[in-house]
Structure 1
Amino acid sequence: MRVLVITILQALALILLPSAAGAQQKLLSDPEIYEKDYFRAQCKSVEFGPDFISRIDINNDGIIDAVVNHGAVTCDGQTQTRCDAEGCPYNFYLQAKEGGYFMIATAQLFGYEFIKRFGNMVFVFNMAPHYCDRTDSAPCEMTVRVRGARMVTISKK
């Protein structure tokens, strides 16, 4: 009897767990709506600056992706409330071929440039110096390329 109960519980787990895993990998229909809804829930009054979202192809696949800048948010009259001495949070989203977006990274940045190097588009992140293993005050310049769904560091200065 005990073996039968365990077998039934294992069978139920196999049936129910794949659906739970699928729910964790749900794609967002639009990261702009998702991020704006987040701030609308956190703030009584909120304004989004013109550089809140950038729609660019960050992984060179021909599909437009999105970068969200939390430093471009004014929450209850205060600007850059999520920023600190290391910069502001940026969220990076890739658009899936099937539709929808998923987040691949979050980074604390002073800012970035998105430029072409050797035929590929890359980010040059301006970051706190400790990200380049330095103790001076000059910002770290980290060059990063997105390959597939991963950010790959090319160089640090």
Structure 2
Amino acid sequence: MKMPLIAFIQVIALVLMPTLSKAQQQLVSDPEVYEKAHFQESCKTVEFGPNFIKRFDINNDGITDVVSDSSELTCDGVRGPACNADGCPHNFYVQVKEGGYIMIATAQIYDYDFVQRFGNMVFVLKMHPRFCDRLDANPCEMMVRVRGGRFVTISKK
């Protein structure tokens, strides 16, 4: 009798687990307002460059999404305060049909291109070579596409 009960509880847990994990993601009404408010609270003086926020469809669903680039901000006179040898933080948000945005990734990268490959738009993330398990000086280039709410790696070199 205990075995079927335990199996039943495990099935219920597996069914509810994705729902519970999605509930932990914070829905943001506008990433630009959200990001700017964060830095306005943590910096005495802050300036945002023209490319701090870019709005375009990153997951090929026809809805405009958002990418923020922290290299485009100056906090207390320091440009890109979170940038280091690994690059600068970029936050990637997808807009949900019901309204609002969910942050799906934060990546410490040098830069990115958004190009068409294999019939879809994909990111070519340029980052520190160690992310491609290399020791040379050439940046790692990782091609990823956004599927729903997650990054899927296509290739890296």
Normalised by the length of structure 2, the TM-score is 0.84
Structure 1: segments with no counterpart, 5+ residues: 1-19
Partner of 1:65: 65
Partner of 1:155: 155
RMSD: 1.6
1:21 Cα shift?
8.1
Runs of 4+ deviating beyond 6 Å: 20-23
Partner of 1:144: 144
The 5 Å alignment of 1:56-135 reads 56-135=56-135
Highest CA radius of gyration, 1 or 2?
Answer: 1
Partner of 2:36: 36
- Give secondary structure in 1 for the equivalent of 2:103: strand
Letter in structure 2 aligned against 1:149: G
Q: How many percent of aligned residue pairs carry the same amino acid?
A: 63
Structure 2: segments with no counterpart, 5+ residues: 1-19
Q: Deviations 1:49-82 (Å, cap 9, x if unpaired)?
A: 0110110100000000000101111011111111
- Give secondary structure in 1 for the equivalent of 2:124: strand
1:23 Cα shift?
6.8
Aligned residues: 138
Distance between the aligned counterparts of 2:137 and 2:58, measured in 1? Answer: 29
Letter in structure 2 aligned against 1:37: A
Distance between the aligned counterparts of 1:69 and 1:22, measured in 2? Answer: 25
Q: Does residue 54 of the first structure (1) align with residue 81 of the second (2)?
A: no
1:150 Cα shift?
1.0
Normalised by the length of structure 1, the TM-score is 0.84
Distance between the aligned counterparts of 1:151 and 1:144, measured in 2? Answer: 6
Q: Deviations 1:65-112 (Å, cap 9, x if unpaired)?
A: 000101111011111111000100000000000000010000000000
Evaluate the alpha carbon distance shift between residue 135 and residue 40 of structure 1 in structure 2; reply closer, same or farther with a 3 A threshold. Answer: same
1:119 Cα shift?
1.4
1:25 Cα shift?
3.8
